[in-house]
Structure 1
């Protein structure tokens, strides 16, 4: 009898486990109105993607009548559906059977996953209304009390939308609440710095909130919030600097406030990506990274950046390249041998790059008769974007472009963000692989000394 009951229990547990297993695939189907979209493409969202969410890029087949249906193996997370000239944010998880209807730019949902994506649609509508303001144009101009009230109201509006969709997936609810919390913390953190650019005498009041006070910094779900790594990078980076340490040294200390190993690893990695170029203890940092980082892919990125920096140290030969100019003629770095070269990696979509244009033109004008060439390398997918900007801002100098060599060139010069500047001597060797920007007055002193 005991054996029989045990057998029944085993069968029950096995069948229950089978029933609870979630199909790793989703069914995505629907219909677009004629002329609404010639193609559909599903890809991972760069802005909202979850931590460790794999990259996905998939074209969906649209039939002549506008219908489409595809079965896709997918991980839980945030995706973008490109529909012709429009983009729609989607939240997808294994087991979904989501039906979409696109009509005159509007989208509606049905089936498993509809509740979550109806929420995403409402969230995006709210972001479109209140998300356009940035610190330099709006927040930094507000007095402290008014800013705090506004930042709190933005969080409340996000939370109200989440609360109205209380039947949606619980994990999505949690991560969306964390997004609202982190966005407010990010605003709190940045205001105290940006306000000083408007009111030089500004000092935060005693009542000014601690930006991180409402966050459980050991909650791994915070890693699903794209702003979180940058928030802790900025916050703890300042603490490290105030205590005479490089950022990575603080993170590996036993006294570091975050104890969760995965979050500490992400904090260390984020610091490496954004600050490695300025580390004075570069070799010591790299040795520690190999002990501290467990994720193989993160280790590989750090190693690649470290080796690139070692190859870009002063006196090392600058990596040669051959790109195309605006006349589609080949131009190589070695063509400028015997002259100093100032490389500018930029793009038409890069706001900080555009902001440097007046200073860059002034720099070129001052040294137009000297033995220094100013070479702008466009990080663009098409030449027309560069040409339009050249004409709009009446830019001179040498403009190069070749999307087929973009990744190779960025890796060679360790370009993790733009604008990025490199200064090269007459022999083709590196002077500075992370040179000063055109608007930095010290750059003029440096160039004057080189030309003497």
Structure 2
């Protein structure tokens, strides 16, 4: 009896320091006292990129908290705390302690080696790394050199610290994806900052050999858990497609070429192929009106991967889009004078809607193009409607006054967001444009931007169509 009691007491003591079958994570982060935190994993389109929550709560006044959770495979987890996040490596049934002391961070436990490396190379907090050598003017050689040197430093640190340690192949794959993916993606995005943000660069101004860096891109194994690798792979496929069809090719031809490249490049990598195709199809649904191509792509994905959860998600998104198309949105918002303006008040004119915010740099960068467009259709039955989101009333009015913005400007409030997300999909990001015909019916939730060569003929098309009907 005494022996049984002793064993029971021992098991109870053991269970107080370790939860069987679970991983444990504790933190002592002095910079985050009484801070809300979430530990999540698997951020993807299926959960709107919010991730699945493993644990959440609030740290104490010393920034201390402890959680336990279950995972089935080694993978990165994201710790959101305060206004920051940390990318942490975890394995099933592991134990890790994360401590901040006098501005330094220490790791102890099962995955301490991997996480110290991620922290030291700033892969743990990728947004603390400046992605550009210079953001004031275009210097391609400096940018390539800067990112190549950063990549070299990270690989040197890998070889000097953990290359010969007992780290798993999946962690090696993850690190490869994180280091190389960051480098390739930032090199690719650098010219776009000057083309689309500052508008100080034309595509033809980019040196012919700038994109030669893509020659070093390598496919990783099918199970790599690095999200930035998958983003860089997406950019690589887009680059290969544009090289084949040209930058002036229409979206239909470009995406058909991308799908063909995916089938060729990712043969033998079914998980990666599903993910890349699903991301492309989601973009087609949310940001284009290529309905025939979208339907065909969903059907092909189903035929190739009938049990894929991506198919169920995409079919749902497609049904949601087709349900709202040709409906008549109904809303009323206040203008800069405080007057209520209803969507029904605009009936009889083509309505080009610009969803924007003063915080959205691409939105602001497109204002000159919008003003030119308004001048072109000055005497035509077209309303240029601007709906502001996520600004305070004061900030909105100040921006209107400072920039002397023209058009019809309305302010959306927090309680309006759910409706505009359901009908127009504003949660997919700004800038975003929509088009209502003169009967008030929704014709597009992915209308061309004001600087697109497609917008003028599109507006003219709906003006003429309605004029023909009125003539009858």
CA shift at 1:157, angstroms? Answer: 1.7
Paired position in structure 1 for 2:15? none
User: Could you tell me which residue of structure 2 aligns to residue 273 of structure 1?
Assistant: 282
Identify the residue that residue 149 of structure 2 maps to in structure 1: 153
Contact 2:354 2:386 in 1 (8 A): yes
The reply to whether residue 41 of structure 1 matches residue 37 of structure 2 is: yes
Q: Which runs of 5+ in 1 are unaligned?
A: 1-21
CA distance change for structure 1 residues 231 and 436 in 2, over 3 Å: closer, same or farther?
A: closer
CA distance in 2, matches of 1:48, 1:284: 23
What SS does structure 2 have at the residue aligned with 1:220?
coil
**Given the superposition, is the C-alpha separation of residues 282 and 130 from structure 1 closer, same or farther in structure 2, using an over 3 Å criterion?**
closer
Tell me the equivalent position of 1:111: 109
Partner of residue 406 from structure 1, selected from 394, 401, 417: 417
Aligned residues of 1:319 and 1:413 also touching (Cα < 8 A): no
Distance apart, 1:419 and its partner CA? 1.1
Aligned residues between the structures: 423
The offset of 1:131, in angstroms, is 2.8
How far did residue 335 of structure 1 move?
A: 3.6
Q: Secondary structure at the match of 2:440?
A: coil
In the alignment, the residues of structure 1 paired with residue 395 and residue 102 of structure 2 have an alpha-carbon distance, to the nearest angstrom, of: 29
Q: Which residue of structure 2 lines up, in the alignment, with residue 258 of structure 1?
A: 266
TM-score, normalised relative to structure 2: 0.71
The Cα of 1:428 is off from its aligned counterpart by: 0.4
Distance 2:66 2:430 in 1: 40
In the TM superposition, residue 387 of structure 1 has moved relative to its aligned partner by 5.6
Give the alignment of 1:115-264 within 5 angstroms: 115-124=113-122, 130-133=129-132, 137=136, 140-143=138-141, 148-166=144-162, 167=165, 169-170=167-168, 171-186=170-185, 197=201, 200=204, 204-205=208-209, 209=212, 211-216=214-219, 219-221=222-224, 224=227, 225-238=229-242, 241=245, 245=253, 247-248=255-256, 251=259, 256-259=264-267, 260-264=269-273
CA distance in 2, matches of 1:339, 1:249: 37
Instruction: Write the distance in 1 (CA, Å) between the matches of 2:167 and 2:397.
Output: 47
Distance across 1 between alignment mates of 2:263 and 2:83: 50
Residue 361 of structure 2: aligned partner: 351
What is the alpha-carbon root mean square deviation over aligned residues? 4.4
* Structure 2, unaligned runs of 5 or more: 1-18, 196-200, 468-472
Q: Does the CA contact (< 8 Å) of 2:178 and 2:226 recur in 1?
A: no
1:99 maps to which of 91, 97, 100: 97
SS of the residue 1:304 aligns to = helix
1:204 counterpart SS class: coil
Aligned counterpart for 2:65 among listed residues 57, 64, 68:
68
**1:41 to partner: Cα distance:** 0.6
Instruction: Compute the displacement of 1:128 (Å).
Output: 6.0
Deviations 1:60-109 (CA, angstroms, capped at 9, x unpaired): 24345654222233464434434444444433333232223345765433
Distance 2:260 2:327 in 1: 34
CA–CA separation in structure 2 for the residues paired with 1:23 and 1:344: 54
2:26–2:66 CA contact under 8 A, matched in 1:
yes
In structure 2, do the counterparts of structure 1 residues 94 and 394 end up closer, same or farther at CA, with 3 Å as the change threshold?
farther
Q: SS of the residue aligned with 1:28?
A: strand
| Structure 2 CA distance for aligned equivalents of residues 326 and 107 of structure 1 | 49
Q: How does 1:353-432 map to 2 (within 5 A)?
A: 353-361=363-371, 363=373, 371-380=381-390, 386=396, 389-390=399-400, 393-395=403-405, 397-415=408-426, 416-432=428-444
Query: Alpha-carbon deviation of 1:272?
Result: 0.7
Q: CA deviation at 1:422?
A: 1.1
| TM-score, length of structure 1 as denominator length | 0.74
> Alpha-carbon deviation of 1:235?
3.2
Residue equivalent to 1:340: 350
SS of 1:227's partner is helix
Instruction: Report if aligned partners of 1:123, 1:158 keep a CA contact under 8 Å in 2.
Output: yes
**Separation in structure 2 between the aligned mates of residue 310 and residue 281 of structure 1, nearest angstrom:** 14
The answer as to whether partners of 1:377 and 1:399 remain within 8 angstroms in 2 is yes
- Helix, strand or coil: the match of 2:266? coil
Deviation track 1:205-245 (CA, whole Å, cap 9, x = no partner) reads 5x974615441355431764342342244135436746995
Q: In structure 2, how many angstroms separate the alpha carbons of the residues matched to 1:231 and 1:442? A: 24
